[in-house]
């Protein structure tokens, strides 16, 4: 009676664990494929966002949305928030 599937301490839990592990494996594969297809390379950290913000400021200045004083003030604030280089 030890091997009976519904006996306390038996292997009744094995199909449940198999399904859960299978679903997790499929989810991992889907996650990796999506990340690979969408260019999810190495994480570049906060400097990537700071550079993007600087580019936005450059564009806004070029489009005339902000003046030079506003540009310089915001650029100084962005550079003050940037972590020190290693």
At residue 40 the predicted structure's pLDDT band, cuts being 50, 70 and 90, is low
> In the numeric block, which tokens belong to residue 11?
């292997």
The answer to whether the CB of 55 falls within 8 A of the CB of 61 is: no
Residue 50 has pLDDT above 80, yes or no: no
Q: Could you tell me the pTM of the whole model? A: 0.40
Write the pLDDT tens digit of every residue in 10-36: 667 788 889 999 999 999 999 999 888
């Amino acid at each position: 009676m030890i091997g009976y599937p519904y006996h306390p301490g038996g292997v009744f839990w094995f199909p449940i664990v198999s399904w859960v592990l299978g679903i997790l494996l499929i989810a991992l594969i889907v996650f990796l494929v999506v990340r690979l297809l969408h260019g999810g390379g190495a994480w570049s950290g906060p400097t990537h966002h700071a550079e993007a913000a600087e580019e936005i400021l450059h564009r806004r200045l070029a489009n005339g949305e902000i003046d030079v004083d506003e540009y310089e003030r915001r650029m100084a604030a962005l550079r003050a928030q940037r972590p020190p280089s290693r």
